[in-house]
A and B are shown apart, each in its own frame.
Chain A
Amino acid sequence: MENTAIENTVQDTSQIKGWGVDSDTENDPTYPMKHRNNGEHAGYSWERPPQQQTDVEILHSNERPNVSAVFGTSTPPAGLSGMIRRYAFKYSESSYGHWLPLMLADRVGVVEGYLEDFSRGHVPNVFAERGWKAEWKHNRTSLVKRVLVGAVVATAAVAYLRSGSDDSSAKKERRPRRARR
């Protein structure tokens, strides 16, 4: 098939009637947030800072051609979450294909975090990590209420599941009887 892509030709602004006659630099909505020098018009052409060297894996957005001159080296991609993150970076920041896998990877990372803790013989104290000591000190009634509600809900759920399993065993008993009829 013929290529039907639209061809964008650069316009010679001096040929456009009235170009710039009403320009008012102080009407820039970012004024005075920046000292406008229109450096962007020259493209990615500034003298870049020296490039940070590393043997750590750094993912980079596909909306830029390179890694930035300096970058963080915290927690490089690893394991299953790392595989998901690498996949996510095939898509642009403008795509759900980027952000949704990253959110998934974050959740997978939590599970990997538990495994990592266990493998080092550390059982995380989730209550302490969630700052329950502070809740106990400053918000005791609400904490107690939440724990009680949690306990009641859990008990009710267990009771319900029990009755549910009783039910189904009862049904199982009944069914053959009905079948016999």
Chain B
Amino acid sequence: MLAMNFRGPLRVRIDHKPMPEIQHPQDAIVRVTRSCICGSDLHLYNGSVPDTRVGMTFGHEVTGVVEELGAGVGNLKIGDQVLVPFNIACGKCVFCQQELYGNCHESNSQATAVGGIFGYSHTGGGYDGGQAEYVRVPYADVGPTVIPEGMDPDDAVMLTDVVPTGYQAAEMGGIQPGDTVVVFGAGPVGIMAARCAWLFGAGRVIVIDHVDYRLEFVKNYAPCEAYNFKSLGDVVVFLKRTTDWMGADVCIDAVGAEAAGRVMQTILGRKLLMQGGSATALHWAINSVKKGGIVSIVGVYGPIDTLVPIGNVVNKGLTLRGNQASVKRLLPRLIEHVQNGILDPKALITHRIPLEEVSDAYRIFSAKLDNCIKPVLIPPSARS
């Protein structure tokens, strides 16, 4: 089958690989119909996640058709059209039992600090991902969800990660009616977080980025205020001034390890890889939230130490909340929102690219070429 093949930092290509096989009674094999590239893949692509092995296939945002089932799968049948949450979750461990599906204890041998994630290095469990024609889906009774009748496949694939992550970013903010919410990052996740902040009753939503076409998009989509940090001077002072010197009630980090904007963070976190990424957005979030405020972190960082102004967290009495989105927990509500037209996730998809052109697709998304917001890879069998 065709599959994306990682060859080293900034180098990916399409290759032929053996078909995945059932390896566990609760496995399914899914024929992929759509597979997105995510901001999280950029951390792998840039070589900043330890134990990302050459030869691996990435891809954790997948829809497809069930082709084969292990003997222990009861909830799916061959031919079902499914959307596959990015977390691999057993449904049985104490963490899954408490709906922390991003923190499963039975899906990742290599690291206890994160549950299994499709196509996300060996630190994420060593699973080949879905930027391929077929993918092995473990615990098929737990994660995969049959796509509801009539749902647009582009909406379905956005429900595997972007929508739940953006929603949970807002949810973790503990937003109260009237709150001012600042979202750092106008990538797909930040855009969705800004949109969802309203669902929790925000009074004002502000998005910060430095890519103008994305700011323009989110301004209309969320809708919200959008500012290019390059034109603001000191971002923190700007945010203080615009909140009558109080600071925002809630700040959301939807940027993560690849943040731009501060030279020292960029050098330490992105060039030298001496910390778990560049923490510029998180730094700004901590410093521009009000005293007693909440910082919600969905931006992904590497596992080693990262410089953040932790003293301010203490002195300001902040609450920091973060997690990998618990996709399965949120899906019922979010499917409803999509079906009722409250959320329109497919509007974020700007590029539909043949799987065979995966090298170019990564470049387009990573270098933000051609006004790209969200690219989705489509394997030959799913193209008409």
A interface with B by C-beta (< 8 Å): 29-30, 32-37, 39-40, 42, 44, 46-50, 52-54, 58-61, 63-64, 66-75, 81, 85, 88-89, 93, 96, 99, 102-103, 105-106, 109-110, 112-113, 117, 124-126, 128-135, 137-139
Which B residue's beta carbon lies closest to that of A60? B109
Assembled-state Cα–Cα distance A113/B361 (Å): 22
- Top 5 A-B pairs, shortest CB-CB distance: A131-B363, A72-B127, A72-B126, A39-B94, A110-B8
Collect the chain A residues with CB atoms within 8 Å of residue B47's CB: 106
Collect the chain A residues with CB atoms within 8 Å of residue B72's CB: 50
Least CB distance from A103 to B in Å reads 5
Q: Are A46 and B93 in contact (CB under 8 A)?
A: yes
Least CB distance from A154 to B in Å reads 19
Which A residue's beta carbon lies closest to that of B172? A33
- The secondary structure that dominates the A interface is loop
Q: Are A139 and B23 in contact (CB under 8 A)?
A: no
Q: Are B54 and A126 in contact (CB under 8 A)?
A: no
Q: Are B321 and A29 in contact (CB under 8 A)?
A: yes
Assembled-state Cα–Cα distance A153/B376 (Å): 37
Q: Are A69 and B51 in contact (CB under 8 A)?
A: no
Q: How many A-B residue pairs have CB under 8 A?
A: 198
Which A residue's beta carbon lies closest to that of B353? A134
Query: How many B residues face the partner with a CB closer than 8 A?
Result: 68
Assembled-state Cα–Cα distance A88/B97 (Å): 32
Instruction: Say yes or no: is B76 at the interface (Cβ < 8 Å to chain A).
Output: no
Q: Are A105 and B369 in contact (CB under 8 A)?
A: no
Q: Are A71 and B108 in contact (CB under 8 A)?
A: yes
Instruction: Say yes or no: is B153 at the interface (Cβ < 8 Å to chain A).
Output: no
Which of B112, B319, B369 meets A138, CB within 8 Å?
B369
Least CB distance from A79 to B in Å reads 10
Assembled-state Cα–Cα distance A126/B363 (Å): 13
Instruction: Say yes or no: is B100 at the interface (Cβ < 8 Å to chain A).
Output: yes
B interface with A by C-beta (< 8 Å): 7-13, 23-26, 47, 50-57, 72, 88, 90, 92-94, 97-100, 105-113, 116, 122-123, 125-128, 138-139, 168, 171-172, 273, 302-304, 319, 321, 323, 326, 359-364, 367, 369-370
Most A CB contacts (10 A, CB to CB) among B8, B54, B56, B126 go to B54
Collect the chain A residues with CB atoms within 8 Å of residue B112's CB: 61, 63-64, 93
Q: Are B53 and A74 in contact (CB under 8 A)?
A: yes
Least CB distance from B108 to A in Å reads 6
Q: Are A49 and B92 in contact (CB under 8 A)?
A: yes
Q: Are A106 and B50 in contact (CB under 8 A)?
A: yes
Q: Are B360 and A39 in contact (CB under 8 A)?
A: no
Collect the chain A residues with CB atoms within 8 Å of residue B99's CB: 33-35
A129-B13, A138-B364 known; A73-B126 Cβ under 8 A: yes
Assembled-state Cα–Cα distance A67/B105 (Å): 10
Q: Are A105 and B90 in contact (CB under 8 A)?
A: no
Collect the chain B residues with CB atoms within 8 Å of residue A133's CB: 359-360
Q: Are B126 and A71 in contact (CB under 8 A)?
A: yes
Listed A/B pairs (9) with beta-carbon separation below 8 Å: A30-B321, A44-B105, A48-B93, A48-B106, A61-B111, A67-B109, A74-B122, A102-B51, A110-B7
Which A residue's beta carbon lies closest to that of B138? A70
Collect the chain A residues with CB atoms within 8 Å of residue B172's CB: 33
Least CB distance from B249 to A in Å reads 16
Assembled-state Cα–Cα distance A71/B139 (Å): 11
Which of B50, B128, B326, B364 meets A74, CB within 8 Å?
B128
Least CB distance from A56 to B in Å reads 9
A50-B25, A74-B53, A129-B359 known; A68-B109 Cβ under 8 A: yes
Q: Are A106 and B98 in contact (CB under 8 A)?
A: no
Which of B11, B128, B364, B370 meets A126, CB within 8 Å?
B11
